[in-house]
């Protein structure tokens, strides 16, 4: 908070890249809430491959990926509510109420679609355990991409134009930056553009995930079984 206060004072402006100090703080609240609410899905899938429990799950009369998503969504939803309540209370005390609460229904839709995007990417990381067995390095790299290119450490609006435009087109931004930015400046045009981009990435990533999963099934080698 002190850092951003100093930044806005040094710039001598009430807004930077279209965001006021109030909007920036609320942006960070939701972006960090989204990231902190995500379950460690890639690690969960990786462990099930390494200890052999995936063989048991694959023999169940339900889809393995759908099962993983259902568990992750339920866990994430509870974390999201808790983190949002705590984070909102803190930010409200520091900078006052959020700019606009009317966009919350739109934001919730965007968060849900963003979670689907994140699920596709983290599930693919977890499924690489079919080949590599240990996905810790991939998980670490992905987390750094989310922090930087997802706009968690700094809003993508503050990036140089060329870099910001590239980052905003990537799936990390559609999973984190997009919903958080919509929260502080909600409008139907921004929402429509965000959802269209999310759906496009879901088609691409969902197709890739399906291919990775099917290949993993064919080449399955389980250490623990």
Residue 6 lies in a domain: no
CA distance 176 to 193: 15
Residue 2 lies in a domain: no
pLDDT along the chain (225 residues), means of 10: 69 79 93 89 76 71 80 88 94 89 92 94 86 83 95 94 96 97 94 98 96 77 47
Q: Report pTM.
A: 0.88
Per-residue pLDDT, 215: 81
Q: Count of domains in the chain?
A: 1
Per-residue pLDDT, 225: 46
Per-residue pLDDT, 2: 65
Residue 13 lies in a domain: no
Question: Which range marks the domain in which residue 65 is found?
Answer: 19-218
Residue 4 lies in a domain: no
Residue 5 lies in a domain: no
CA distance 217 to 156: 38
Residue 157 · residue 18 · CB < 8 Å: yes
Estimate to the nearest angstrom the gap between the alpha carbon of 14 and the chain centroid: 29
Helix H segments across the chain?
A: 2-11, 21-36, 41-50, 53-58, 64-95, 104-127, 136-149, 161-168, 171-172, 178-184, 188-218
Residue 93 lies in a domain: yes
- Closest Cα partner for 171 from 211, 205, 148? 205
Residue 14 lies in a domain: no
- DSSP per-residue codes, 10-52: HHT-SEETTEEHHHHHHHHHHHHHHHHT---HHHHHHHHHHSS
Per-residue pLDDT, 143: 93
What 8-state DSSP symbol labels residue 98? Answer: -
Residue 42 lies in a domain: yes
CA distance 77 to 87: 15
Q: What are the backbone dihedrals phi and psi of residue 217, each rounded to the nearest 5 degrees, phi first?
A: -60, -40
Per-residue pLDDT, 171: 97
Per-residue pLDDT, 224: 44
What is the torsional sign of CA 175, 102, 184, 79?
Answer: negative
Which residues face 16 on adjacent strands? 19
Cα end-to-end span (Å), the chain: 51
């Amino acid at each position: 908070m002190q850092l951003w206060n100093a930044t806005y004072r040094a710039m001598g402006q009430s807004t930077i890249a279209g965001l006021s100090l109030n909007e920036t703080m609320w942006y960070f609240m939701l972006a960090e809430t989204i990231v902190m609410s995500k379950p460690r899905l890639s690690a969960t899938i990786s462990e099930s491959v390494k200890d052999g429990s995936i063989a048991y799950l694959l023999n169940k009369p339900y889809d393995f990926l759908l099962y993983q998503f259902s568990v992750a969504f339920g866990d994430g939803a509870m974390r999201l509510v808790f983190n949002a309540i705590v984070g909102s209370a803190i930010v409200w005390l520091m900078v006052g109420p959020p700019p606009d609460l009317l966009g919350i229904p739109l934001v919730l839709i965007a968060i849900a679609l963003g979670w689907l995007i994140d699920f596709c990417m983290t599930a693919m990381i977890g499924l690489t355990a079919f080949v590599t067995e240990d996905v810790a390095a991939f998980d670490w790299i992905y987390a750094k991409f989310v922090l930087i290119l997802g706009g968690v450490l700094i809003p993508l609006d503050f990036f140089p134009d060329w870099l910001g435009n590239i980052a905003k087109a990537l799936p990390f931004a559609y999973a984190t930056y997009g919903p958080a930015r919509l929260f502080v400046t909600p409008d139907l045009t921004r929402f429509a553009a965000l959802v269209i981009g999310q759906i496009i990435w879901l088609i691409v990533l969902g197709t890739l995930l399906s291919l990775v999963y099917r290949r993993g099934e064919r080449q399955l080698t389980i250490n623990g079984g």
